[in-house]
Amino acid sequence: MNKIKISAVAYTNTKAFIYGLEHSEIINKIDLSLDIPSDCAAKVISGEVDLGLMPVAAIPLVPNANIVADYCIGSDGAVNSVFIFSDVPIDEIKTLKLDAHSRTSNNLAKVLLKFYWKQEVDFTTEPLAKADAIVLIGDRTFGKKDDYAFVYDMGEEWKNFTGLPFMYAAWVANKEISHEFKDEFNAALKFGLAHRKEVLQDLPKSPNFDLEDYLYHKLQFDVTADRTKALQLFLEYIRQL
């Protein structure tokens, strides 16, 4: 049997899922690569992999996109790893440097600035550019909150804006995946989430960052009706950018 090729995010937010896949029989049926989110998206879009835990903002670019799992990377309010870090308050930001790793959070920053804060901002992806503020996501944000004068958690700001939770990344396939595989895949993800304690024990300690709170509370992994509604709303806002 051909193995299903899968790309997943290489951050701490995905460790429980990886634990589940690696401790299930399904590991023998898949080819798993761990990538930064923008590369996950590129691989699912190009067909280099069949399925990926990919930034939801890139879903419209995936041919035959379909969400195959009951689990995702989400939050309900603050997530504690998706930020605008700024030298000035939001209503004084004129330039914002985007995060090359990100697809969802870069778009979330644009959506919030335009439709929530109603602030006109120039965006740059130039790594060496000077800017009033930056988007930063994932493990590189751990313990960094005190380094900036103004800190905006975009999960929290999205909730303030819409009253909804958020979905950052989803398990998206670019082709039909069998029910049998989906069931086994979901069971493995569920197993991983149930073993977050073991995952935590294996993670290196992170100064100024509460990993337990992050894995058990800030991150929320269920694809709920409200989170799906938020996804549709977010994609609609992106179309209007």
Q: Which is nearer to ligand ISJ, 109 or 179 (CB)?
A: 109
Least CB distance from residue 72 to ligand ISJ, whole Å? Answer: 9
Q: Cα dist. 154→75, 81, 97, 104, 159 in Å?
A: 10, 9, 15, 11, 8
- Residue 13 near ligand ISJ by CB under 6 A: yes
Q: Which is nearer to ligand ISJ, 86 or 106 (CB)?
A: 106
Sole window of 76-84, 88-96, 114-122, 196-204 interacting with ligand ISJ (rule: CB under 6 A): 76-84
Contact pick of 7, 24, 86, 105 for ligand ISJ (by CB under 6 A): 105
- Residue 82 near ligand ISJ by CB under 6 A: yes
User: What is d(CA 128, CA 229) in angstroms, rounded to the nearest whole number?
Assistant: 37
Residues 6 or more apart whose CB falls under 8 angstroms from that of 207 comprise: 143
The C-alpha angle 66, 101, 201, rounded to 5 degrees, equals: 85
- Residue 168 near ligand ISJ by CB under 6 A: yes
Residues 6 or more apart whose CB falls under 8 angstroms from that of 111 comprise: 234, 237, 238, 241
Q: What tokens appear for 202 in the block?
A: 């294996």
- Residue 9 near ligand ISJ by CB under 6 A: yes
Binding site for ligand ISJ (CB under 6 A): 9, 11, 13, 37, 55, 73, 79, 81-82, 102-105, 137-138, 168-169
